[in-house]
Structure 1
Amino acid sequence: MSSFMFCSVFGSCHDEDEGLPCVHDDNTICADKSCFCVSGTHVRAGKCFKDGTFGGLCSELNGETCQLDANAECQKGVCVCKKDSIPSNGICTAEEMFGGRCRGKDGQTCMKDDNAECVHGLCRCKYGTTAIGKLCLKDESYQGRCIGDDGDACVNDQHAECLDKVCVCKKGASAVNGSCVLDEKYGGRCWNGEGTPCRLDKNAICISGMCTCRSNTRIMNGICRIDGAPEGMCVKGNCHGKNVDCDSMSNTCKCKVTHFPYAGKCVKK
């Protein structure tokens, strides 16, 4: 890699670096052997700051949130960090989030990120998590870092696989509330239209694009079970059908020891 005579904007750069960012400032570009701010940034204190975020220019009224930084506000045409936030990696970061200040003791979980902990007054990612964007994400889980080859299963999410060292949902699964869930099954996405049965769970129906248990059923071990039926919840202490009894300890319908559940019934072993 070639070196530069200067690291700041308007410093010198070499012919072979034409069109590339100058060292130590990603908001610059090498052109005609000099470093210039790229479009959408402006120089301040010898460094190029992106407009609409910390240190950059803004057009909002004083006190209004800057366009590209939710934790920055416009003051006299420049984005500054709002109260209870600090500059971190070129943007303003709120307290109790990765990169922001924290008020707890060392090792205490940061209030706005369960995967971050307080270390010497700043939120840092806990062991086994990695900072991606503004959050600390658990390794080997959806959107987190993975160490396997492309296509390898992610250790902490059975429906995610490794792609370019990041966990993404496998084919046939979608992201729901931060994890990958099988489509066409309770809690997963569905595509066949409102009120239609979900393909992988006959007791679930599609409501607003999500598989939801039908009436008189509830989720049991990841599947919608009919109340009163084998493996379903008891109804006022009773179960329906032959060779099935209500287990008072779990309040679930269990087949007699001489039978096993199959297709919603108790079948003799």
Structure 2
Amino acid sequence: MMKFLLFLAILLVSAHYSQQDSETEQSGELSDSVEEKPVQLPARDLEDEEDVPTRSVLEDEATEEDNTAVQLPARDAEEDDELTNRSVQGYEEGTPVQLPARKLGELTKRSKEGKNCLNCGKNATCVKGKCRCKKGFRRWRGRCLRRGRCSKKCGRNARCLLGKCRCRRGYRWNKGKKQCVKQRCSKKCAKNARCLFGKCRCRRGYRWNKGKKQCVKQRCSKKCAKNARCLLGKCRCRRGYRWNKGKKQCVKQRCSKKCAKNARCLLGKCRCRRGYRWNKGKKQCVKQRCSKKCAKNARCLFGKCRCRRGYRWNKGKKQCVKQRCSKKCAKNARCLLGKCRCRRGYRWNKGKKQCVKQRCSKKCAKNARCLLGKCRCRRGYRWNKGKKQCVKQRCSKKCAKNARCLLGKCRCRRGYRWNKGKKQCVKQRCSKKCAKNARCLLGKCRCRRGYRWNKGKKQCVRRGIRWFKIGKATTCEGQSLTLRCGRGRVIRVVYAIYGRRNRRVCAKNKPIKTTKCRAKNSKKIAVKTCDGKRTCQLKANNGVFGDPCIGTFKYLTVIYGCRKPCVKNAYFNGRVCKCKTGYKGQGYRRCTKQKVGRNLEEEEKRDVSDDDMDINENGLETV
């Protein structure tokens, strides 16, 4: 039916033009209307929206008629005046006036000249002197048509527009596949370019160079000022800086006044630090606090309760529960934040469905090792592209005094620091004189060996053994030495020597060939004979300790202490009495058996043995 009406209209128009050729040549209106325009139907009301031909139908018909533009008969000037008067009268009285079918573009053009909309037609309104379609309508060929719905669901990469499925931006219709396919470029794009909507376009920051026929970087015409950088062919200030016309450079953005507490100046404005918010009443930044106490395994963060790492919120229990994996993780994998992840140095293998070790594809070069599937140079080495191997990192110049080359840089040795003025490494000195029994070490005062710092006395005090009193006894070779402790105390041997260390003790009219003489088993024999007894006797002769230095007169010296004896089910660990495994209490008072069900295999803490002490003959710890 539509084709028949269109054909009838074309016949009528052609007949009319054949009769009035002379009149159309003289008329200026006819010359303006001969321009290539879409096919226009005979005058009809806009209410018949369903009968309006769509764009595709009109284009097909125009193609069949060899793309000839069809124009309706020209109107006389008198008719235009009458229509104009009628429209003005209707506008003044407030009654709707229907104009003959005319393009919305013509009304808009006329509204621009008169700066007022005469009549925009149905489904259109006048907005700022221009005719606009109402909501739910869309401009199509000079008319406002309702946005119709498509009869069926549109395919992929298509959308419904004016009752028809149309391809989205960057896609085109493919008849063979019967779907919208991506617009591809006919040839491969040049360097630094990409295919966009079927055309090759330069990437961001690049422009097309006709001579080189490629995309070249956008460079600035001159060098940028300080604190500025070249961006897309223009010099722009870096973040936190702004342009100053007077100084003609980028200056730092500063705040007009000093920022309040817990705030800092950022990009020219005072902003509260992380975890704080602005309080209008107090006019300062206050800490973001939660309105109520957070649940277990949760913490207050920026004013809200959030679960700690490795936990998630459970609505039913209303608390943070641990994130567990739904199934047991494979070998060399562990459960992390609710998911099974391979351990460090392993990767997931889809075929084996397990974590396998990351291996390098080829053998690593010299001074390199395979790490996480890649060959990496060892510490102190770097990769040399020319030699294709790891070479030692060397310093570019000889290092100064008291410095050494480390990882390609000169660094001061231990106990020295760099002095900019002298340009060398100088010894680290303490700012003030150290206290008694202390020394300056790496720029700080530290207590000597065998001493500790006492805050109350503000000095280094000796680490004394508080639970027994130290005594010393000496006898010459061939005599006996008796050790004795008071009531309720037992002997504890700290140090023993059989031999000679000086020329003062037992040296009157005696042969002395050396002073560096000591029996290796001196302390062992003394401990075995006297330790844990109230009294004991030691004989100083070669039959007991052996002869460490032949021809030299020797002596025996023992440093010992008296301690409390350990109770039953307790033992002495070298410093204190401790209850045996399975018992509890204090080793000097009472050790009771632990109840069944407790962990009886708890490991004992090992204290420093007295064999590690270095005590001289005078009973003092050496430094």
TM-score, normalised by the number of residues in structure 2: 0.13
TM-score, normalised by the number of residues in structure 1: 0.25
When you count strand as a share of all residues, which structure comes out higher? Answer: 1
Q: Which has the higher contact order (CA 8 A, sep 6+)?
A: 1
Larger Rg: 2
When you count helix as a share of all residues, which structure comes out higher? Answer: 2
